C-alpha cells in the first residue's frame, strides 16, 4: 500500500485505509493490544507490528464485505461449464414438467365442462318431469 514506515499515528493509518480513527483503535483493542504503552506526548504512535496487524485485519474484513474469492488462474472454466450444463438440463426438465401440468389442467377443465353440461341437462330433464300434469305420467 504505502512505504514501510517506522511509526504512524492512528489518524494517518485510518486515513490511509479509508476508515475512522475509532475503527482502527477498536480493531487494535479487540486484538488484545494495550495502546497506553504506545503513547508519546499524548498521541498514540503505532509501530510496524501494529500497522501490519491493522492492515491485515482491514484486508480480511474488506475481502469479506466485497465478496472477493481466491482466483483460480488455471485458465479452465470446466467446473463452471459443467454447472451451467447441469442448470440448463434442470431448466429443460422443469419446462417439460410445466408443459405436462398445463396439459393436465386443460384436460381437467374439459372434463369439468362436460360434467357441468351433463348436470345441466339432467336438471332440465328433471324439471320437465316435475312440470308434467298427473294425467301426462305416461309420456
139 within domain boundaries? no
Task: Kindly indicate the confidence band of residue 137, based on its pLDDT and cuts at 50, 70 and 90.
Answer: low
Last residue of a domain, one of 31, 66, 101: 66
Residues 97 and 125 in one domain: yes
When the pLDDT of each residue in the chain is averaged and rounded to a whole number, the result is 83
Count CB atoms within 10 A of the CB of residue 55.
15
Q: Check whether residue 60 and residue 97 sit in a common domain.
A: no
Domain containing residue 52: 7-66
Axis crossing angle, helix 10-17 with helix 21-30, rounded to the nearest 10: 110
Q: What is the pTM of this model?
A: 0.42
Kindly report the CATH number assigned to the domain that includes residue 12.
1.10.1660
Co-location of 53 and 11 in the same domain:
yes
The verdict on residue 136 lying in a domain is: no
pLDDT, tens only, 110-119: 999 999 999 9
Is residue 52 in a domain? Answer: yes
Query: Would you say residue 74 lies in a domain?
Result: no
Amino acid at each position: 500500500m504505502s512505504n514501510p514506515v517506522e511509526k504512524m499515528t492512528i489518524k494517518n493509518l485510518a486515513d490511509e485505509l479509508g476508515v475512522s480513527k475509532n475503527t482502527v483503535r477498536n480493531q487494535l483493542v479487540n486484538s488484545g493490544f494495550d495502546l497506553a504503552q504506545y503513547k508519546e506526548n499524548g498521541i498514540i504512535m503505532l509501530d510496524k507490528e501494529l500497522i501490519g496487524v491493522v492492515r491485515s485485519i482491514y484486508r480480511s474484513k474488506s475481502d469479506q464485505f466485497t465478496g472477493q474469492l481466491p482466483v483460480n488462474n488455471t485458465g479452465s472454466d470446466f467446473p463452471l461449464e459443467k454447472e451451467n450444463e447441469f442448470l440448463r438440463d434442470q431448466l429443460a426438465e422443469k419446462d417439460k414438467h410445466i408443459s405436462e401440468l398445463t396439459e393436465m389442467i386443460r384436460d381437467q377443465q374439459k372434463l369439468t365442462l362436460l360434467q357441468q353440461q351433463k348436470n345441466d341437462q339432467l336438471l332440465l330433464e328433471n324439471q320437465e318431469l316435475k312440470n308434467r300434469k298427473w294425467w301426462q305420467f305416461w309420456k
